[in-house]
Chains A and B, each alone.
Chain A
Amino acid sequence: LAKTTQPISMDSYEGQEVNITCSHNNIATNDYITWYQQFPSQGPRFIIQGYKTKVTNEVASLFIPADRKSSTLSLPRVSLSDTAVYYCLVGDWTTDSWGKLQFGAGTQVVVTP
């Protein structure tokens, strides 16, 4: 499993863009990059997943450079409700590999008015 490294915490103001970078130097060819969000006393919730280049959905964008050794989750115009812990996961969850869904410590994002 590729080990991931991400900042412990980040602070932001409402309306700003928040970018969280995750390092995964040992990412394997078949690995996908997935981000989850977790609020206190709740289970994690899927945000976005990508393999290469850029992926965008209604809540976030995921930027993955060509070497795939890092990825950046971008949260546009954050609000107070975006205060949460964000986890970067790297793995191959195909049926044949039965990959582990392994979480690290995550990044605590705090949004203030």
Chain B
Amino acid sequence: EAEVAQSPRYKITEKSQAVAFWCDPISGHATLYWYRQILGQGPELLVQFQDESVVDDSQLPKDRFSAERLKGVDSTLKIQPAELGDSAMYLCASIKGENTEAFFGQGTRLTVV
């Protein structure tokens, strides 16, 4: 069964360092989402791509976060510099088409120390 791949699964980084997460959606899925989930809360949408274009990044802290999906396939989310409050699970999801289910990856657990 096709899956959304994310790496790394776990990342520990020091405050002020740069960190990057990678996501490879299911083949053929044009829409890709990045979420941040703090323990005990629901996933918070950070950025949404349609192919290679950003269609919504209103919740992305643009002073330190960036996201790209250059060829409309895999995507990278970067944080620079990381802060203690960035410790969370970062989830990637993709959707094939209209009103269909979203498939989520296993996530990257980030700990900033």
Contacts and interface: CB of A to CB of B under 8 A. Distances in A.
Interface of A: 32, 34, 36, 41-46, 49, 85, 87, 92-95, 98, 100-106
Given A94-B99, A98-B48, A43 B42 contact: no
Interface string B38-81: 00011111001010000110000000000000000000000000
B31 interface: yes
At the interface, is chain B mostly helix, strand, loop or mixed?
A: strand
Interface of B: 4, 31, 33, 35, 41-45, 48, 50, 55-56, 89, 91, 93, 95, 97-107, 109
Given A98-B48, A104-B42, A41 B31 contact: no
A49 B55 CA distance: 24
Nearest to A42: B106
* Best-buried of B89, B104, B107 by chain A (most CB within 10 Å): B104
A68 B93 CA distance: 27
Given A32-B99, A95-B98, A105-B41, A44 B55 contact: no
Given A32-B99, A104-B42, A41 B89 contact: yes
A42 B107 contact: yes
Given A98-B50, A101-B33, A105-B41, A45 B104 contact: yes
A30 to B, nearest CB: 9
Contacts of B95: 93, 101
Given A42-B107, A98-B31, A93 B98 contact: yes
B101 A49 contact: yes
A43 B41 contact: no
Contacts of B97: 95
